[in-house]
Structure 1
Amino acid sequence: MGLKAALSKPFAAYIHQRNQAWIQQPALAQQKIFKNLIQQSGQTVFGRDHHFKDIRSHSDYIQAVPVRDYEGLKPYFEKVKKGESNVLWPGKPIYFAKTSGTTSGTKYIPITRDSISNHINGARDALLAYVHQTGKSTFLDGKLIFLSGSPELDEVGGVKTGRLSGIANHHVPAYLRRNQLPSYQTNCIDDWETKLDAIIAETINQRMTLISGIPPWVQMYFDKITALTGKKIKDVFPDFSLFVYGGVNFEPYRAKLIESIGKPIDSIELFPASEGFFAYQNEQDDPGMLLLLNSGIFYEFIPASEYYDENPQRLTISEVETGVNYALVVSSNAGLWSYSIGDTVKFTSTNPYKVIVSGRIKHFISAFGEHVIGEEVEKALRNTMQKFTEVEVVEFTVAPYVSQTAGKSYHEWFIAFARPPHDATAFQLELDSQLRQLNVYYDDLIAGNILAPLKLTALPPDAFQRYMKDLGKLGGQNKVPRLSNDRTIADALQRMKI
Structure 2
Amino acid sequence: MGFRSVLSKPFAAYIVNQQKKWSAIPGRYQQQIFENIIKTAASTVFGKDHGFGDIRNYDDYRKQVPIKDYEELSPYIKQILEGKSDVLWPGKPEYFSKTSGTTSGVKYIPITKASLPNHINSARNALLSYVHETGKSKFLDGKLIFLSGSPELDRKAGINTGRLSGIVNHHVPAYLRTNQLPSYETNCIDDWEQKLEKIIDETLHQDMTLISGIPPWVQMYFDRIQVRTGKKIKDVFPNFDLFVYGGVNFEPYKAKLFESIGRKVDSIETYPASEGFIAYQDSQREEGLLLLANSGIFFEFIPADEYFNDHPTRLTIDDVKEGVNYAVVINSNAGLWGYSIGDTVKFVSTRPHRLVVTGRIKHFISAFGEHVIGEEVEKAMKYTIAKYPETEIVEFTVAPQVTPKEGLPLHEWYVEFSNPPSDLSAFEKELNLQLQKFNAYYDDLLSGSILRNLKIIQLRRDSFIEYMKSQGKLGGQNKVPRLSNDRKIADELIKYELQKND
Equivalent position SS for 1:12: helix
Name the residue aligned to 1:383.
none
Name the residue aligned to 1:94.
94
**Aligned partner (choices 470, 483, 486) of residue 482 of structure 1:** 486
Name the residue aligned to 1:466.
none
Name the residue aligned to 1:333.
333
Alpha-carbon distance in structure 2 between the residues aligned to 1:220 and 1:342:
28
Structure-to-structure mapping, 1:187-266, within 5 angstroms = 187-266=187-266
Distance 1:485 1:354, change over 3 A: farther
* 2:432 matches 1:403: no
Q: How far is the alpha carbon of 1:25 from its aligned partner? A: 1.3
Distance 1:328 1:484, change over 3 A: farther
* 2:79 matches 1:65: no
* 2:351 matches 1:362: no
Alpha-carbon distance in structure 1 between the residues aligned to 2:4 and 2:414:
42
Equivalent position SS for 2:473: helix
Equivalent position SS for 2:418: coil
Name the residue aligned to 2:297.
297
List structure 1 runs of 4+ shifted beyond 6 angstroms.
Answer: 365-374, 394-398, 483-486
Alpha-carbon distance in structure 2 between the residues aligned to 1:183 and 1:6:
26
Q: How far is the alpha carbon of 1:20 from its aligned partner? A: 2.1
Structure-to-structure mapping, 1:71-82, within 5 angstroms = 71-82=71-82
Offset from partner CA, 1:281-316 (integer Å, 9 cap, x none): 011122300000000000000000111111111000
Offset from partner CA, 1:125-166 (integer Å, 9 cap, x none): 000000001000000000000001000001111111111001
Q: How far is the alpha carbon of 1:481 from its aligned partner? A: 3.9
Structure 1 letter corresponding to 2:486? R
Alpha-carbon distance in structure 1 between the residues aligned to 2:283 and 2:487:
33
Residue 396 of structure 2 contacts residue 416 of structure 2 at CA under 8 Å; is this kept in 1?
no
Name the residue aligned to 1:110.
110
Alpha-carbon distance in structure 2 between the residues aligned to 1:399 and 1:155:
41
Name the residue aligned to 1:382.
none
Name the residue aligned to 1:287.
287
Q: TM-score, normalised by structure 2?
A: 0.77
Offset from partner CA, 1:418-442 (integer Å, 9 cap, x none): xxxxxxxxxxxxxx9xx97xxx995
Equivalent position SS for 1:243: strand
Offset from partner CA, 1:55-94 (integer Å, 9 cap, x none): 0111000000000000111100111111110000000001
Equivalent position SS for 2:195: helix
Distance 1:170 1:179, change over 3 A: same
Residue 196 of structure 2 contacts residue 221 of structure 2 at CA under 8 Å; is this kept in 1?
yes
Name the residue aligned to 2:472.
443
Aligned length: 415
Question: Where in structure 2 are there 5+ consecutive unaligned residues?
Answer: 365-372, 379-392, 421-463
Name the residue aligned to 1:16.
16
Alpha-carbon distance in structure 1 between the residues aligned to 2:316 and 2:260:
43
Alpha-carbon distance in structure 1 between the residues aligned to 2:416 and 2:86:
46
Name the residue aligned to 1:137.
137
Residue 395 of structure 2 contacts residue 417 of structure 2 at CA under 8 Å; is this kept in 1?
no
Equivalent position SS for 1:318: coil
Name the residue aligned to 2:152.
152
Residue 102 of structure 1 contacts residue 373 of structure 1 at CA under 8 Å; is this kept in 2?
no
Residue 97 of structure 2 contacts residue 108 of structure 2 at CA under 8 Å; is this kept in 1?
yes
Q: CA RMSD in A?
A: 3.3
Percent sequence identity is 61
Name the residue aligned to 1:468.
none
Residue 330 of structure 1 contacts residue 337 of structure 1 at CA under 8 Å; is this kept in 2?
yes
Alpha-carbon distance in structure 2 between the residues aligned to 1:126 and 1:63:
36
Q: TM-score, normalised by structure 1?
A: 0.78
Residue 139 of structure 1 contacts residue 241 of structure 1 at CA under 8 Å; is this kept in 2?
yes
Structure 2 letter corresponding to 1:71? E
Alpha-carbon distance in structure 1 between the residues aligned to 2:396 and 2:74:
20
Q: How far is the alpha carbon of 1:397 from its aligned partner? A: 6.5
Residue 243 of structure 1 contacts residue 265 of structure 1 at CA under 8 Å; is this kept in 2?
yes
Alpha-carbon distance in structure 2 between the residues aligned to 1:25 and 1:99:
34
Distance 1:5 1:23, change over 3 A: same
Structure 2 letter corresponding to 1:404? S
Alpha-carbon distance in structure 2 between the residues aligned to 1:404 and 1:139:
30
Residue 398 of structure 1 contacts residue 483 of structure 1 at CA under 8 Å; is this kept in 2?
no
Distance 1:441 1:336, change over 3 A: farther
Equivalent position SS for 2:321: coil
Distance 1:248 1:451, change over 3 A: closer
Distance 1:108 1:45, change over 3 A: same
Distance 1:176 1:233, change over 3 A: same
Residue 363 of structure 1 contacts residue 484 of structure 1 at CA under 8 Å; is this kept in 2?
no
Offset from partner CA, 1:472-495 (integer Å, 9 cap, x none): xxxxxxxx9437999xxx9xxx9x
Offset from partner CA, 1:414-465 (integer Å, 9 cap, x none): xxxxxxxxxxxxxxxxxx9xx97xxx995212x89x999x9xxxxxxxxxxx
Residue 395 of structure 2 contacts residue 415 of structure 2 at CA under 8 Å; is this kept in 1?
no
Alpha-carbon distance in structure 2 between the residues aligned to 1:134 and 1:401:
36
Q: Which moved more, 1:331-340 or 1:19-28?
A: 19-28
Q: How far is the alpha carbon of 1:249 from its aligned partner? A: 1.1
Alpha-carbon distance in structure 2 between the residues aligned to 1:402 and 1:269:
24
Structure 1 letter corresponding to 2:273? A
Q: How far is the alpha carbon of 1:19 from its aligned partner? A: 1.8
Q: How far is the alpha carbon of 1:24 from its aligned partner? A: 1.4
Q: How far is the alpha carbon of 1:21 from its aligned partner? A: 2.0
Residue 252 of structure 2 contacts residue 395 of structure 2 at CA under 8 Å; is this kept in 1?
no
Q: How far is the alpha carbon of 1:399 from its aligned partner? A: 4.5
Question: Where in structure 1 are there 5+ consecutive unaligned residues?
Answer: 379-390, 407-431, 455-479
Offset from partner CA, 1:226-283 (integer Å, 9 cap, x none): 1111100000000000000000111110000000000011000000000000100011
Alpha-carbon distance in structure 1 between the residues aligned to 2:52 and 2:143:
48
Alpha-carbon distance in structure 2 between the residues aligned to 1:234 and 1:270:
23
